[in-house]
Amino acid sequence: MIFKNYLSETGKILKQNALYKFVVLIIGGVTLLNTFMLYYALNHQTIVLIPPGLDSKVTIKGDSVSDEYVKSFSQYLIWLLYSYNPATARNQFNEALTYFLPEKYPEIKKQLYLLADQVETAIVSSVFYIQGIHIDRNGKIINVKGISQKFSQDGKLMEQAQKTVIIGYQVINGRLYATSLREEG
């Protein structure tokens, strides 16, 4: 009789253990499914922005950005770097530095501060009129074609040239960074 009670208690415990194992497996499966769904959602979400000054949507999806965002970024960066006067050059160059990749900051800062010193010493103003922007997504390059004009202190045109500014870029965590800057022409 005592042996029957022991067997029935052991049977109950074995059934409970089997039920507990099943529940643990279900919870583990649901957690695993939730992890995959969260990973998918984070990597495939689309953010739509309409910044001030733009009349079209700008989208960021993972490490990909829309052409409108790249064009807006390049227009603003070109304005900061190529349309200045002695009073605004240093402040504009400081702001432009925030748009460069942190690893490139010291190199670009040295170039821009040297240019700011030259602008303040020579009292030169510059304007850049953008004529076209071409984006090479494979090479991660933005080509900005336009006319650059430099003026002396008294407003006389010193230089006018057709230039192409080539901006290297990289998208990290949905943020666009300039990686390089060079001129042709």
Count other Cβ atoms within 10 Å, centred on residue 73.
20
Q: What would the pLDDT profile of 107-141 be if each residue is shown by its tens digit?
A: 999 999 999 999 999 999 999 999 999 999 899 99
Per-residue tokens: 44: 């495939």
> How confident is the model at residue 176, as a pLDDT?
87
Q: Check residue 153 and give its pLDDT.
A: 87
> Structural domain boundaries of the chain?
1-44, 61-184
Per-residue pLDDT of 64-103, as tens digits, reads: 788 888 888 899 999 999 999 999 999 999 999 999 999 9
At residue 44, the 3 state secondary structure works out as: helix
Its pTM stands at 0.71
Q: What percent of the chain has pLDDT over 90?
A: 59
Residue of 119, 52, 127, 71 whose CA lies nearest to 91: 119
CA gap 166, 185 in Å, rounded: 11
CA distances from 7 to 20, 21, 60, 111 (A): 20, 21, 64, 86
CATH homologous superfamily of 61-184 equals VirB8 protein (3.10.450.230)
